Amino acid sequence: MRVTTKGQVTIPLNVRESMGILPAETEINFRQDEQGRWYIEKSIEKNQVTDKPVSRFRTAHKTAKLTLSTEEIMALTRGGL
């Protein structure tokens, strides 16, 4: 893996999926063990500044249910239905 000039790396998709890391939603930590090895771990979903649970609005999109088909949504946007 190559590090950018800004110190950034891309976490491979299969790693993000297996760890449940979501863009712009998941905080991660780096931890070093006694032998000096580094590990990446997903943070508990708490606000890192206030140490309070993440707002329910931050994760509300995960509970939405799709009730309209794509065709019905397109018809609504075009003034149909």
Answer whether residue 22 is part of any domain: yes
Q: Which residues form the domain of 54?
A: 13-77
Put simply, whether the predicted model's pTM sits higher than 0.85 gets the answer: no
Answer whether residue 65 is part of any domain: yes
Answer whether residue 7 is part of any domain: no
Q: Find the length of the chain.
A: 81
Quote the pLDDT of residue 32: 93
Answer whether residue 45 is part of any domain: yes
The number of folded domains in the chain is 1
Rounded to 10 degrees, what is the CA torsion of 77, 59, 17, 43? Answer: 160
Q: In this structure, what DSSP letter does residue 9 have?
A: -
Answer whether residue 29 is part of any domain: yes
Answer whether residue 52 is part of any domain: yes
The pLDDT tens digits of the residues spanning 10-67 come to 999 999 899 888 888 888 889 999 999 999 998 875 555 566 666 666 666 666 666 7
Answer whether residue 34 is part of any domain: yes
Lowest mean pLDDT among 8-12, 65-69, 74-78: 65-69
Pairwise pLDDT comparison (80 vs 4), residue with the higher score: 4
Answer whether residue 46 is part of any domain: yes
